[in-house]
Amino acid sequence: MRNATTIGLLFLVNLLLTNCSTYNPLPEALADPENVTTLKIQNVRLDSLPKEIGTLTNLKTLYLFRNKQQKIPDEIGNLSNLVLLNAAYCGTLVRIPETIQYCHKLDVLYVDETLILPFSIRKVNSRLRVVRLGKGAVR
């Protein structure tokens, strides 16, 4: 049975969270993920991205710009329709998980100068363009 909050999210396509300080609405928003194609989390005090992110199988664009998350969960590999991932300026984020290799439609990845990319990033697709905002290397 769905609660009132979840019912309002049944037809959610774009979820934009900007400058939120303490509230973490992600678990509620991810309750019915079929329609979500864009998720933008910018300047949010989000310590970690929930593993439920992997249920957003129709997600095409994911913006994690300027957040505090320390890691991206392995479930990101379930995002088979992901085309763009912006993980730039996430201060404590140091690594993209190996499971990124399963995002075969990923065309653009924005990352910090210090972010460590897994070797498996080379398996994503031949069109993948990694845009580094500074220096860094594939490791």
Q: What is the pLDDT along the chain (139 residues), one digit of tens a residue?
A: 344 344 455 555 655 556 565 555 555 556 666 778 888 888 777 777 888 889 888 999 998 888 777 788 999 999 999 999 998 887 778 788 999 999 999 999 998 877 788 888 888 888 899 888 765 444 4
Cα-Cα-Cα-Cα torsion 107, 42, 76, 36, nearest 10 degrees, comes to -80
Contact 90, 67 (CB under 8 A): yes
pLDDT of residue 4: 37
What CATH superfamily is the domain 4-133? Ribonuclease Inhibitor (3.80.10.10)
- Chain centroid, CA 46 distance in Å: 12
Query: The tokens of 121 are what?
Result: 């990033």
Q: Where are the domains of the chain?
A: 4-133
pLDDT at position 137: 43
- Tell me the whole-structure pTM to 2 decimals: 0.78
The pLDDT assigned to 40 comes to 85
| HEC per residue, 96-132 | CCHHHHHCCCCCEEEEECCCEECHHHHHCCCCCEEEE
